[in-house]
Amino acid sequence: MHPPVRLVAIDMDGTLLPALSQSMSERTGRSLVAAQKAGITVAIATGRRLAYTLPMIEHLNLRADTPLITSNGAVTCTLGGGTIDCCHMDARVARGICGVLRRFGIVVFTFNRPGRGELVLEDLHQAHGRITLWIEANRDAIEVVKPLEMALMDGEDPIQGMAAGTVEQMRAAEKALKASEWAAECDCVRTEYPARDLSILDLVPPGVSKGNALEQLAARLGVDRKETMAIGDNWNDLGMLEWAGQSIVMANAAPELRALAKTRGWKQAPSSDDDGVAAILESAVAKISQNICINSDMPS
């Protein structure tokens, strides 16, 4: 039997957020607050950068010390603005990656600076054809630089990179990157949305992942992995699902990931469209309440 959850790391897109939505349900929002009130540390763990994450959760009245694992583990901070950890990709490596990946699709780099120039790409028209919703949501942060290498020459290292295209294109891009001279200096994590024939390849410094960030966060909080839960729906969640002692895969997860979950003994939550995260958190809170009642009834 698993011990009560003390720390839960929750993915955003496809997990907290329903499909094709930029807002979570009221029930899911309430479940996050209820989990915090029950003593569970709720951490948001997303591939999104911080500025693209905050609008989804700022209105929920979560605690200021709520941990946010963003950019696939490259940046960990708090909702109140405190920085816990931050990693950067060497600009030299980023320039090399451009030459490998641009033939497969859109390439974007994220910098740790506010406003325009936080996101840099070289072909806005191409991006519009593939990730229109993302472009519209991030328009004020985007700067077009062509060739993209010119944005990586001033000594400022990016936080992470991203390539986007069809599922077939990004699988080929991943193979090309792993066969390149930059393979040892850049990790990549592929996320797939087959229904839209869209795939994203996140590019991060070696060793950076949601899983490593979650492990470090748990150590800081003094929480054992057996008391840690991870909830996700795609391949960039795999690291934290493998590390956590209690792992939950969404019903809308990639089929191959759901198949892997069965072999690992991970539980499955209802889909994000059916408030799957809320169902899991409500159960975790009920378990904590039950244990409190049992302990209070025990003779002193």
pLDDT in single tens digits along all 300 residues of the chain:
788 999 999 999 999 999 878 889 999 999 999 999 999 999 999 999 999 999 999 999 999 999 999 999 999 999 999 999 999 999 999 999 999 999 999 999 999 888 899 999 998 888 767 788 888 888 999 999 999 999 998 678 999 999 999 999 999 999 999 999 999 999 998 888 888 899 999 999 999 999 999 999 999 999 999 999 999 999 999 999 999 999 999 999 989 999 999 999 999 999 999 999 999 999 999 989 776 655 555 555
In the numeric block, which tokens belong to residue 296? 């209070």
Predicted pLDDT of residue 296: 53
Eight-class DSSP state of 180: S
Give the pLDDT of residue 295. 59
Provide the H-helix boundaries in the chain: 26-37, 50-57, 91-101, 124-130, 132-138, 167-178, 210-221, 238-243, 255-264, 276-297
Question: Taking the model in full, what pTM does it have?
Answer: 0.89
3-state secondary structure of 235: helix
Superfamily of chain region 7-86+208-297: HAD superfamily/HAD-like (3.40.50.1000)
Q: How many residues does the chain have?
A: 300
Q: Which CATH number fits domain 91-204: 1.10.10.10, 3.30.1490.20, 3.30.1240.10, 2.170.140.10?
A: 3.30.1240.10
Eight-state DSSP code of residue 17 = B
- β-sheet bridge partners, residue 83: 77
Contact indicator for 13, 237 with CB cutoff of 8 Å: no
Strand partners, 70: 75
* 7-86+208-297 and 91-204 in the same fold: no
Confidence at residue 12, expressed as pLDDT on a 0 to 100 scale: 96
Please answer whether residues 84 and 220 qualify as being in contact, where contact means their C-beta atoms are separated by less than 8 angstroms: yes
Residue ranges per structural domain of the chain:
7-86+208-297, 91-204
Record the tokens describing residue 291, joined without a space.
């244990």
* Contacts for 39 with CB less than 8 Å, ≥ 6 apart: 6, 288
Q: How much is the pLDDT for 2?
A: 83
At residue 292, the pLDDT reads 62
Task: Give the pLDDT of residue 294.
Answer: 55
Task: Return the pLDDT at 130.
Answer: 72
**Alpha-carbon torsion (207, 211, 214, 215), positive or negative:** negative
Vertex 4 angle, CA 213 and 46, to 5°:
30
Q: In 10 A of CB 118, how many CB atoms?
A: 22
- Between the alpha carbon of residue 219 and those of residues 36, 160, 222, 250, the distances in Å are 19, 24, 5, 26
Residue 299 has a pLDDT of 53
